[in-house]
Homo-oligomer: A and B are copies of this chain.
Amino acid sequence: MKVAVLAGGVGGARMALGFAEIVPPGDLSIIVNVGDDDRFHGLYVCPDLDTVLYTLSGVVDRTQSWGVADDSTRALEVLRKLDSPGGWMKLGDADLGLHLYRTSRLAQGASLTAVTEEVSHRFGVHCALLPASDEECPTMVEAATGLLRFQEWFVRDRASPTVKQLGFQAARKARITDRVRASLLAADLVVLAPSNPYLSILPMLEIGGMRDALQQAPGLKVAVSPLIGGRAIKGPLVKLMSDLGAGSSNSDIAASYSDFADAFVVDEGDSRDVANVSHQGALRVAAMPTLIPDAPRAEELARRLLDFASTRRTTGAAG
């Protein structure tokens, strides 16, 4: 069964890890948010792509769930001493090696897709790790304190300023890559990982061609809720949804995917939400253990999603 996963940062990386354990690499595509990407000290940094890469290759820092384990910050200390702008962005030394390589290759004219493929293979990751777009499409944050780039709001300002609106202008002008489109159309199962819907998934959905490809994709399209007991495991989701007046329930999240999703998965502890969400259109709703703090539990969720997709196919064939 061919699987495509739309992934943001930590939640997306864990979901990808689960599938990587049980799906042959040639059948697995991880489509990754690039709305968080930005330049620091002249280097092109792709936090979500790197979190997925480090997680899949096993070098990730397991305490913070991003960056390289036991990394040092000597270069950053010098940059801070030199008062280089953006010194608040934590970039480890090993991490910088990757950013240097990527920036150098991009400057030579290689696409982000091509560079990511080179890097993945060298890191021993053999599924397709695909940036959602090869174009720059930074998510902008219209905050109470002014218009901020995503990392300024998220890292520098610790996601504290109230968000009035998110800006996806660049994403709307950009296009998904041919490989992203092809992997969505070829997939038997498309999974929206339990990443932040507004900061990780929506920035991908807004990229030119993404919703079209998802609507046309013939496989089962399942969104996994990032909420467990009404809260996000990590990150500023609930506060952000409240800031945006977007509602912060499973029903609200499901609604934002209803134009293309076939099914919505809530945590097994939130099975009372199944009925609520089911009222929304034709969306099938299932409850599964969505807490995936480690590889075995991510693998278990991936297996449940594959089973869910198989059942649906069998049902489809029988009906």
Contact = CB atoms under 8 A, between A and B. Distances in A.
A127 to B, nearest CB: 19
A97 interface: yes
A93 B74 CA distance: 6
B118 A93 contact: no
Nearest to A92: B74
A107 B103 CA distance: 14
Contact of A74 (B81, B83, B94, B107): B94
Interface string A94-138: 101110110110010000000000110011000000000000000
A97 B76 contact: yes
A71 B98 CA distance: 19
A101 B104 CA distance: 16
Interface residues of A, number: 30
A89 interface: no
Given A42-B107, A71-B74, A101 B82 contact: yes
A144 interface: no
Given A84-B101, A104-B84, A118-B82, A74 B72 contact: yes
Interface in A190-236: none
A304 interface: no
A90 interface: no
B41 A82 contact: no
A75 interface: yes
A176 B43 CA distance: 30
Contacts of A42: 42, 100, 103-104, 107
Interface in A65-84: 71-72, 74-79, 81-84
Contacts of A122: 81-83
A75 B42 CA distance: 16
Contacts of A43: 100
19 contacts: A41-B101, A42-B103, A42-B104, A43-B100, A72-B74, A72-B93, A74-B92, A74-B93, A75-B93, A77-B94, A77-B97, A78-B98, A79-B97, A81-B122, A82-B118, A82-B119, A82-B122, A84-B104, A96-B96
Interface of A: 41-43, 71-72, 74-79, 81-84, 92-94, 96-98, 100-101, 103-104, 107, 118-119, 122-123
Given A72-B74, A81-B123, A82-B119, 13 more contacts: A41-B100, A42-B42, A42-B107, A43-B100, A74-B97, A75-B100, A77-B94, A78-B94, A78-B98, A79-B97, A82-B101, A84-B100, A96-B96
